[in-house]
Amino acid sequence: MPLDHAFNARLTDPDFWPRYLFEHDDTYEEDHWDEDDRQDEFTARFALGDGHALVLDVDLTYGTYTLDLDAPGLDEPAALGWLDQAHPIPHALRWGELDRLARAFALVDPELRHPGPVLALLATFTVLDENDDPDVMSPLVDAAFRHVRPGAATGLRPETRQWWEWRNLAGSGLTWAATGPDGHLVATQAQERSSRPPLYTLRREDGSFPFAAYADLLTRADRILADAATDPALADPAVATALTRCTAPDGATHLPALAAALRTAGYGQAVLLRAVSDPHDQAEACWAVETLAALPPGSLLTRWYGPSPLATARHWDLQLDLPVLGRPFGYGRTVTEDLNRRLAEAGLGNAEICGATMRRSATGEILSDLILLDILIRDDLPAGHALIAATLAAHGAGPETVVTNRTTADVWRPVDGSSD
């Protein structure tokens, strides 16, 4: 079982996903580390047989998560990436790779329904670029979080929106190139020091990424998916007719006929039969039909679901330099927490402290000079500007306060409304 009883139970706790997805800043404090916290460590092994597996280690106490690859020929599991709140290396998997792997894991282990825990847990280890289509991705990610976490039963999930913003490096200069005799895909990013957002990955030409073993894992996943479409029952005329109807834009309405035809023909893949006859979400039936019809992954999702809300979603990455010299202790955190609350309540984004600058006083004392905030504004930049200005005014911020739009390089002084 890839998710043992304790981990499965932990996934249903109200505080698991907010902590795993870093939805709030739970800074570790030793005084608050009790005995229960010491047990908040879990390992999940997602296997494809013969020693090929992805291994996820979760430590909620420290907020650190590592993704390793285990494979024949490796002396020990090799790191693909990790997540923490200090020096994360999260860009490990491309979307198409994760989707294919999650489908194969589901076929091998009926407990790992797709979209479900694999996608919800491992999506945070992906990296997206201009070639990734939100119409293909968001139905699956939405369905994965609907399956593992209470929330809206329809529409774009907030976890999906956050994931899209965190892992989307479109426009950042990210490129992929096939290198070496085996053509392994290596990531590069032009002008890495100034790129926003930056690429943090082991998948570099001189990196430690286990390219050959990972390619073997993907090959094994593709073989499992292909084998599911070779059952002789799929040649039955009634099955073929029903399957063709299911690949149309209204294909979901023909699922009962497909399920009945598969049963009558004696189709033997229990996971796909369950997915079309009793899906936990329509997206589960959709990928099952894609697999049965040997369609490219995601091609039917665009027909069944149409445009994703992410296709028109916009966000801006801002940095606020907040002067705190001479202010009461905790002033910067107070402003940040209030701004984050207001942005969240308005559905406009979030704010968090990302750093600080210091200066030495005339007496040699080291004093905080600026608190640096990362601010994400969604969809309505003028409304975001207005809310930032109102929050800073409420806390008496000075005219030296500066906001830089990292997306456009514009500089704005919210206290007096001027810009450079």
pLDDT digits (tens, 9 = 90+) for 317-376: 999 999 998 899 899 999 999 999 999 999 999 999 988 888 877 777 777 889 999 999
Judge whether residue 18 has pLDDT over 50.
yes
Q: What is the pLDDT of residues 66-81, one digit of tens each?
A: 999 999 989 999 999 9
Q: How far is CA 390 from the centre of its chain?
A: 32
Q: What is the pLDDT of residues 289-300, one digit of tens each?
A: 999 999 999 999
Beta bridge partners of 402: 321
Which pLDDT band, with edges at 50, 70 and 90, does 194 fall under? low
Least confident of 14-18, 44-48, 200-204, 360-364: 360-364
The 8 Å CB, 24+ separation contacts for 59-66 are: 60/10, 60/16, 60/19, 60/20, 61/28, 61/33, 61/37, 62/28, 63/19, 63/22, 63/26, 63/28, 65/20, 65/124
> How confident is the model at residue 16, as a pLDDT?
94
Domain boundaries 314-419, corresponding CATH code: 3.30.70
Judge whether residue 31 has pLDDT over 60.
no
Which pLDDT band, with edges at 50, 70 and 90, does 27 fall under? very low
Which pLDDT band, with edges at 50, 70 and 90, does 30 fall under? very low
What amino acid is encoded at 415 in this protein? V
> How confident is the model at residue 192, as a pLDDT?
54
As a whole number, mean pLDDT of residues 198-221 equals 93
Q: What is the pLDDT of residues 61-120, one digit of tens each?
A: 999 999 999 999 899 999 999 999 888 999 999 999 999 999 999 999 999 999 999 999
Judge whether residue 196 has pLDDT over 70.
no
Judge whether residue 34 has pLDDT over 60.
no
How many CB atoms are located within 10 Å of the residue 231 CB? 18
Averaged pLDDT score across all residues of the chain: 91
Judge whether residue 193 has pLDDT over 50.
no
Residue 353: phi, psi to the nearest 5? -75, 130
> How confident is the model at residue 158, as a pLDDT?
92
* Tokens coding 344: 């969240």
Overall pTM surpassing 0.85 (yes/no): yes
Q: Which helix (H) or strand (E) holds 177?
A: strand 174-179
pLDDT > 70: percent of the chain: 94
> How confident is the model at residue 191, as a pLDDT?
66
> How confident is the model at residue 367, as a pLDDT?
77
- Residue boundaries of the structural domains of the chain: 5-225, 231-305, 314-419
> How confident is the model at residue 326, as a pLDDT?
86
* Tokens coding 407: 């997306």
